[in-house]
Structure 1
Amino acid sequence: MNVDIFARQMEALNLRLNKLYQGANASPSPPIEHLLPVAFKELGIVSEELQVAVEELCQQNQELAVVQVQLQAERQRYQDLFQLAPEAYLVTDINGKIREANRAAALLLNISDEHLIGKPLVVFVASEERWQFRNELNRKRAGDRIPDWKVHLQPRGGEPFEAMLTVSVVRDGEGRPTSLRWMLRQIGTRELIPIPQQTNNDAKSLDSAIQVYAKGEIIPLNPQSIWQVHRGLVKLTTICETGEEVLVGLVGDKMLFGASLTALKTYQATAMSKQVQLVEFSLAEIASDPHLAQTFFEQINRRLKQTELLLAIFAKRRVQDRLQHLLLLLQQEIGEFHKEGTRLKVRLTHEDFANACSTTRVTMTRLLLRLQQDGKIAFDSDRHLILKYGCF
């Protein structure tokens, strides 16, 4: 029963009551003993019909409440799919101002999704291409589907990279454009090379392939798979509320990382070595292989221990104490033998050390210079840090 039907029933009931009232006032007046039974009968009928109408409305309200809950759950499901999509997606107005962004977009642009909202997409385009980007957008958004085109995107605090943009136009009922939907795909330098014959049981078969990433390249994170480092070092970071990068993990040979191994909304993996070789395992593949799952459990346990050590470092009140314990951790994770001590296999910048210790680059430069002057650290010809014997 809808509101219109209920209103018509109420109108009919009012007409019947009005006729009863007019009959009661008619001349000559009928005897009271004849009028009362008729009045009570009519009132009883009216009461029953109102009760039925109220029950029908209550039932419909319950059904509407159930439908509303289902619609809300469906909306949340699609929102989750949007957020967890492996590709970077954005929704902007017709002028390119960002309204919505998923997790992959935040990682790709190296900024939290909350801070993305309200920013023009053009600010993440390399400065020398912004004029061309605006012209291209103005020229192409008249169509329902804009042809893909390449631009160089500039992530926050990172190096520019080439990306492919796919854009579609959303229109209202009258055909007027209201918003734009974007998919951003990084065009990386990955190449596929065959994995050599392995003897360990947890290695992938010969028909598998290693994916190679160059230093500084952002590694895509698929929520349905896990990366294993075959060779090299990967830096895992997040973005805090102030927009600063915070180190949350260093992943070396045989270690694991992936979107399914974190609860952080903003999570980015960056290649730190000149060449990082990775092998991708699907979650279904791991679940179906007990031996592989056991091997990965041991590697995840190693990551957990490293995370606890990083937390302990962040808890140190003095920056110099954080740096000292960070160097000890790096010595353990990526250290190799050197005639003067332990050499870090990967060249880390002062900015990397500063992010790991939650301080500024200027402060970190001063502390590293002091350690170098005290003879506790040194740098080789490739600017790799060396921890001197007996100093750590």
Structure 2
Amino acid sequence: MDIDKLEIDKFTQRTKGMYRRLADLYENLNTMPIMADVLPQALIELGSASEIVNVATEELHQQNEELIQTRNLLEAERQRYQDLFEFAPDGYLVTNTIGMIREANRTAAKLLNLQPQYLVGKPIVNFIALQDRQTFRSFLIQIPEYNKVTELVVRIQKRDGELFDAAFTVGVIRNQQDKPIGLRWLLRDITERKQVELGLLKNDGDLTLDRPWHKYCKGELIPLNPGVIWYVCKGCVKLSTLCETGEEVMVGLAGVGMVFGSTLTALHIYQATALSDVELVSIHLAEIAAAPTLSHTLLPKINQRLRQTESFLAIAGRRRVQDRFHQLLMVLTQEIGEPVPQGTRLLVRLTHEELASACSTTRVTITRLIGKLQQQGKIGFDSKHHIVVRDEQLENIPKPLSPIANSKSNF
């Protein structure tokens, strides 16, 4: 707490007055014979105390000046960061851990079509499009578990009802005990970016134009050349690695319209296996470097592979095997699923061993979990032994952080 400068000055004047009166007492000591034995020693002690008070007053005055300077500097820094917050080109929101808005800058208010003061106290989920709210709530629950900045792509609904594609980048605010106490949200309108991506996806024919098609049968290993990226025209490819025990670990799937290759991974052991009869075209890296339109067409596909990889990482991060398997089913329904009357059917038949490798568990455990879910009526099998996930099961499975839209075709 700062001491008022005027009060310090008054205290200083009083101290100086006391010091002068002590000096007068010293000079008049000989005229007071009655106190001659006691008064000298008392005055000496009082003079020492006066000196200490005088020094303390000067130090207090100096410290107060320093506090005032520090306060002014802090206020200037606070104002500078407040200006950065308010006038940032992206929308910024600060919420508590359950998504209740505490602060909002002007850009965020403009994006949401509401004044900043009216945003405070409202749940951020109120501005998420209805079809994305379940995904957002699942995402919000998981955020405190992450120690890095995370991104989610959703549809935002403005106050007037208008929708737009948005990307949320979220960071966790933690206290000194490393406990989450709030969230910082960076909000961007990515409508134009989405339109560009959709426009580029329409040019997929350029990837296969005048290129030879390579066919591989189910179960065949696909050769990986460091100078080549494969583009999937038909079928599905399993991407895997080997752990130190020699067991295979599934790290991804490449379906129709997706790309894969050894240049897109840092794993020393990496292999691609045809899960069905597949047809591929090869694209050389030198060609990509020389053709900007080709690289622009491939960029969203590489981004799609990255998002899928993060989804598989999220599976591995779950502690319970049951949760990992449920999350895997969610990813598979989005990657290789097609709607059927009973629910969502996986277009590729995966063995229990392959499912186990994706969940970092044993084949016996997966067999037991499948049997349990089948008894509960949450999954089933079609005539070709493909898994069919019931719609009600999908509602109970937390969705991946970045939903991946993928082209579907029968394999």
With normalisation by structure 2, the TM-score equals 0.46
Query: Which structure exhibits the higher relative contact order, with contacts defined as CA atoms closer than 8 Å and separated by 6 or more residues?
Result: 2
Structure with the higher helix share, 1 or 2:
2
